[in-house]
Structure formats: C-alpha cells, structure tokens
Amino acid sequence: ATTAYYVASEAVANAVKHAEATSIGVVVGADGDGKLHVSVEDDGRGGADPHRGSGLAGLKDRVAALGGVLHITSGPGRGTTVRAVLPCVS
C-alpha cells in the first residue's frame, strides 16, 4: 500500500510541478488475480522521462523491488500516464 501511495503521489506532484496539467485523474483498484493497479493520467505537456531526474526512476526501482511493473506513457504534447501493477499480499 505504501508503494501505491508513492506512485500516485509522485505522479501527481510531477503533473503539477512539471507538466502544466489542467486535469489529473487517479484510479486505484484491485483485480481478481491479487494485483493492485494504480493509474495517474494528466493532460499536461508530456515528455516525462524516467531516465532524467530521480523521481520516476526511483518509482520504477521501488515498484520492481516488490515484483511489480511501472509503465510510463508520455508523448510530447499528449500528457502523461503512469501505471503501476503491484502484487497484493493478504
């Protein structure tokens, strides 16, 4: 749960701070396969690069350490979508 919070928090902070976004959506849910899904989508300027800066790179590492996957889609002028899939432990 802590990693899901960090994914959402970092993605929202980046959208506000760097993307000049006017709209940010956050969706969190669990599926029937024991996975937690976190998605943050903004309508900002795009161009987010997980290899530049430490925020997104740190998220990738944190998610991977738990056996999860982080996907970032961010075309220039198209906004950014950050999606994490994390294993749920009950």
- Give domain limits for the chain: 2-87
Q: At residue 89, does pLDDT exceed 80? A: no
| The CATH number of domain 2-87, selected from 3.30.565.10, 3.30.70.260, 1.10.150.20, 3.20.20.210 | 3.30.565.10
pLDDT digits (tens, 9 = 90+) for 31-86: 989 999 999 999 999 988 877 766 888 899 999 999 999 999 998 989 999 999 99
User: What's the pTM?
Assistant: 0.90
> Who contacts 17 (Cβ-Cβ below 8 Å, separation ≥6)?
none
Q: Where are the alpha helices (DSSP H) in the chain?
A: 2-17, 55-65
d(CA 45, CA 62): 25
